[in-house]
Amino acid sequence: MVTNKSILNGVLLVNKSAGMTSHDVVQRIRKLIGQRRVGHTGTLDPMATGLLAVCLGSATKIARFVSDMDKTYEADIRLGRTSKTYDAEGVDANQPEQTVPHVSQSELELLLSEFVGVIRQKVPVFSAVRIGGKRLYKLARKGISTDIPEREIEIKRIEIMDFSPPHLRIQVSCTKGTYIRSLAHDIGRRLECGGYLADLERLNIGHLNVNDALTLEQIANHRDNGTLANHLLDYDDVLDYGAILIRDEFRQFVESGRQPRNTDILGIEGAFRPGDRILLKDDRGSVLAVGIAGVASDSISGSAQQNSLFNYVRVLN
């Protein structure tokens, strides 16, 4: 999506390398493309690799919706030792090795199933979460103890990829805000041998996949060749929502938040229920707004008059 030769607008899928913060990636892209309006949609720890969705230009309007998408990770958990940071950075080299218990595949699957579903998860002590305006990791470095907050998150799936003690490699699908570091720590504690996150790759953000992402080096090459715009995703490439298509003459009323009526509607894309996020599109398929469905997709009739078919959340045009 490019509306100006000098400004890039769209979502860029980046394959982040280890050792960089998400902010580092954003800063590099700002310098590469020469524009300030760039933002990521969900932090990856510096040690982690994989998919980072970066919004350019006007696409920063949908950053919150991308951030809300479920994530899928592949994690390598090192069992037999603990870490104060729950990852490799906080491991004490002098810490004695604990014996990893002998468990069968079925026993391990049963144990991991205890973490699947809606759970309360404590955030890591060394995290950027604020308590009383202070970052937790800064308090921890100063030795200041405080109550560690919990978050309600949902782990939708845990699949064992390999179990070769002391390493356990799993794939995890979860809602936003889930700390895989905390999950690794909790699994080690449940096995009574300790554990920490040794390696992490983000594979998916919603339906977006790391295999479609570019490295920073590839982004620089496409910038030099003038082909970077070909790799930017439009709103409807990213937001996997149903949609209401409206007549062209209604387009002028979208910015003021006017409610569409049945007579303004050309058609429906996909299926949705009341309360679902949906898109408002014009007759050319351009996304004009994100909103909340007031009725189910199969209840919108061309003859019956409905109120609140589409409740605006964000106008995008």
Look at residues 228, 214, 189 and name the one whose alpha carbon lies nearest to residue 101: 189
| Local confidence band at 308 (pLDDT 50, 70, 90 cut-offs) | confident
**Assigned domain for 201 exists:** yes
Say what the pLDDT of residue 307 is.
62
- pLDDT (tens digit per residue) in 91-139: 888 889 999 999 999 999 999 999 999 999 877 665 555 555 555 555 4
Q: Which of 205, 220, 251 is the last residue of a domain?
A: 205
Mean pLDDT across 223-247: 96
| Residue 23 is assigned to a structural domain of this protein | yes
Q: What's the pLDDT tens digit per position in 276-290? A: 999 999 999 999 999
Q: Is residue 3 part of a domain?
A: no
Are residues 95 and 119 both part of a single domain? yes
Q: What is the CATH number of the domain that holds 288?
A: 2.30.130.10
- Looking at residue 87, the DSSP 8-state letter turns out to be B
Is 283 part of a structural domain of the chain?
A: yes
Co-location of 83 and 146 in the same domain: yes
Q: Which of 66, 68, 62, 25 is nearest to 45 (CA)?
A: 25
* 4 falls within a domain: no
Considering the domain architecture, whether residues 175 and 85 belong to the same structural domain is answered as: yes
Mean pLDDT to the nearest integer, 73-80 = 98
Residues 45 and 160 in one domain: no
User: Do the domain assignments include residue 245?
Assistant: yes
Angle at CA of residue 49, ends 209 and 12, nearest 5°? 45
Tell whether 176 and 128 lie within a shared domain: yes
One domain, residues 199 and 220: no
For the whole prediction, is pTM greater than 0.85?
yes
The band of 151, judged by pLDDT with boundaries at 50, 70 and 90, is confident
* Whether residue 166 is found in the same domain as residue 87: yes
Q: Work out the burial of residue 242: count CB atoms within 10 Å of its CB; fewer than 13 is exposed, 13-18 middle, 19 or more buried.
A: middle
| Amino acid 306: pLDDT | 54
Residues taking part in catalysis: 45
- DSSP characters for 128-191? S-EETTEEHHHHHHTT---PPPEEEEEEEEEEEEEEETTEEEEEEEE-TT--HHHHHHHHHHHT
**Both 149 and 199 in a single domain?**
yes
**The domain spanning residue 156 has which CATH number?**
3.30.2350.10
Q: Which pLDDT value is given to residue 1?
A: 44
The reply to whether 98 and 187 lie within a common domain is yes
Residue 303 included in any domain:
yes
Strands 242-246 and 265-269: antiparallel
Q: Range of 196's domain? A: 71-205
| pLDDT reading at 46 higher than 80 | yes
pLDDT of residue 125: 63
Residue 81 shares a structural domain with residue 146: yes
Asked if 100 and 222 sit in the same domain, the reply is no
Structural domain count of the chain: 3
User: Cβ–Cβ contacts within 10 Å for residue 134, how many?
Assistant: 13
Pairing of β 277-281 and β 242-246:
parallel
Bridge partners of residue 242, in order along the sequence: 278
Using alpha carbons, select from 53, 85, 89 the residue that is nearest to residue 71.
53
| Same domain flag for 122 and 195 | yes
Query: Which of 187, 205, 223 represents a domain boundary (last residue)?
Result: 205
Could you tell me which residue, 147 or 186, shows the higher pLDDT? Answer: 186
Q: Residue 271 and residue 254: Cα distance in Å, rounded?
A: 22
